[in-house]
Amino acid sequence: MSKDGSGGTGRRKFLQESAALGGAAALAGLVPSIALAQGARKIKIGLMLPYTGTYTQLGVAITNGFKLAIQEAGGKLSGREVEYATLDDESEPAKAADNANRIVNRDKVDVLVGTVHSGVQMGMVKIARESGVLHIIPNAGLGAATTQLCAPNIFRTSFANAQTTYPMGQVMAKKGHKTAVTLTWRYAAGEEMVAGFKDSFTKGGGKVIKELWLPFPNVEFQALLTEIASLKPDAVFVFFAGGGAAKFLKDYKAAGLKGKIPLYGSGFLTDGVLEAVGDAAEGVETTLHYGDGIDTPRNKAFRLSYAKAFKLQPDVYAVQGYDAALLLIAGMRAVKGDISKKREIIAAMEKAQIDSPRGKWTMSKGHNPVQDFYLRKVVGAENKVVGVAVKALDYPPAALCKMPS
Ligand code: BEZ
């Protein structure tokens, strides 16, 4: 294990690998033919995502988005055919390191894409740091992945958990809400979402009078909703996603709280669930880095293309998967498809400006998107964009990342 705890990963490991390849090739006078041979081999993408359980729909949307961007690029990565190795991580943290190890070291993927659940992400980050594999996170917002545990080979195309909720604390404080109750699953994502919200809500003069928790992926909300009704806060803030979000919205309405105590959250509460919940989400306001109704030609073209390909409406998860592929395309373009040039791929990915359906964004020094956060409101079956809540937000600050060299 190296001093930085990365097991000798990161930039140094890439340099060693590239130098070994380049050096041997140069000795044999073989550089051009190695490049040719590289051109013949397919690029293997490992998709380690949830395909069962509460986050199934999120894993599927990410997969669809990723494959759509590759399809739109001609089905190849700078002339190289693409093949996929897929692994269902079940949103199960206990299996995460073994699963990641399997896909990296047994299936020998060139790029590891995943995952959704922050607890699983922790295991993937460990393996990515140890192996040096190029790793793109298309959802999980685990803050440490792009701060304390950042590494040259680890990139994220989604968000940090607290980054999505910090804007909502500001919005709620500005609306004049003085007290709030928070409710979420007790795991890294829930804890970080609540922390981001509390940070800005309390700075704005608000007070969290009670934090309520339940274990992931439990959806027995009844007793907690009864407690909220008796606490009578000005507002309720929650983080739920996927199947859990749909159930929560319906239960909130059934408990008679909708219209009585205003409900807010990060946009995961209402993304990808609107068709399933009928009018239970109507009027709910959330903050997120995407909204169905972003009125740009780029977003409209993406939505049309996704709907045509999958007979489904895209959501934030589809966008994040799509952008993961756009980021990889930018890296591979810089080396004309030569995946052995990891240092150059990383440099290109660090500099990339992603022209996303969400709007253009760039990478922070910790490899997390610096992006705008929208205030959205559910109107019918749409997360309508009401405005920009915070522009170009870098939070938690990338300065917390000391990139291993
Ligand atoms: C997470 O575990 O990081 C997460 C899962 C679903 C939506 C957002 C974040």
118 lines ligand 1 (CB under 6 A): yes
> Nearest residue CA, atom 3 of ligand 1?
140
Minimal CA–CA distance to 42: which of 380, 337, 251? 337
Is CATH 3.40.50.2300 the classification given to domain 162-288?
A: yes
Residue 18 CA to ligand 1 center (angstroms) comes to: 34
235 lines ligand 1 (CB under 6 A): no
Tell me the β-bridge partners of 208: 180
Collapsed DSSP state (helix, strand, coil) of residue 238: strand
Domain 8-159+295-363 is of which CATH architecture?
A: 3-Layer(aba) Sandwich (3.40)
> Would you give per-residue pLDDT tens digits along the chain (405 residues)?
233 333 344 444 443 443 333 333 333 334 333 444 544 699 999 999 999 999 999 999 999 999 999 999 999 999 999 999 999 999 999 999 999 999 999 999 999 999 999 999 999 999 999 999 999 999 999 999 999 999 999 999 999 999 999 999 999 999 999 999 999 999 999 999 999 999 999 999 999 999 999 999 999 999 999 999 999 999 999 999 999 999 999 999 999 999 999 999 999 999 999 999 999 999 999 999 999 999 999 999 999 999 999 999 999 999 999 999 999 999 999 999 999 999 999 999 999 999 999 999 999 999 999 999 999 999 999 999 999 999 999 999 999 999 998
161 lines ligand 1 (CB under 6 A): yes
- For the chain, residues classed under CATH 3.40.50.2300 are 8-159+295-363, 162-288
Collapsed DSSP state (helix, strand, coil) of residue 376: strand
> Nearest residue CA, atom 5 of ligand 1?
117
133 lines ligand 1 (CB under 6 A): no
- Atom from ligand 1 closest to the CA of residue 188: 2
240 lines ligand 1 (CB under 6 A): no
Q: What is the DSSP string of 131-178?
A: H--EEEESS---GGGGTTT--TTEEESS--HHHHHHHHHHHHHHTT--
Candidates 268, 273, 289: which one to mutate for ligand 1, based on the most atoms within 8 Å of Cβ?
Answer: 268
**C-alpha 253 chain-centroid distance:** 29
Minimal CA–CA distance to 386: which of 298, 269, 267? 267
